[in-house]
Amino acid sequence: MNEVKSNIPYKPVSCDLHSQCELAIMHKNKFFLTWRNKEGIVTKTDITPVDIQTKNKAEYLVAKKHGQSDVFLIRLDHIIEMKVF
């Protein structure tokens, strides 16, 4: 699992975003996600959320791209937009 390490301090996310992620995991919803990686590059892709984890005082969405089995981590405070479908 790829862990995104960042020197930028974690900024707590809204309860609404956290709840949307949890509901998507529980209902196995897929969504289109836009986020910035640690280098600041914006990525847009369809993902399947798997879990939420806390590591190094930050929260991460554990996700996988559609049709792939490998999971990766996205820091919740790096999410720009999430569209559930």
Q: CATH number of the domain that 54 lies in?
A: 2.30.30
The C-alpha atoms of residue 9 and residue 65 are separated, in whole angstroms, by: 26
Query: Is residue 67 in a domain?
Result: yes
CA-based torsion, 42, 40, 63, 13: positive or negative? negative
Number of independent structural domains in the chain: 1
Mean pLDDT within 3-26? 86
Residue 59: give the domain boundaries: 15-84
Matching residue, tokens 């996700």: 63
**pLDDT band, very low/low/confident/very high, at 37 (cuts 50, 70, 90):** confident
Q: Is residue 49 part of a domain?
A: yes
> Is there a domain that residue 9 lies in?
no
For residue 39, tell me if it sits in a domain.
yes
Q: Are 61 and 74 in contact (CB under 8 A)?
A: yes
What does the pLDDT read at residue 84?
82
Residue 1 lies in a domain: no
| pLDDT surpasses 80 at 6 | no
Q: List all residues 6 or more positions away from 54 whose beta carbon is below 8 Å from its beta carbon.
A: 60
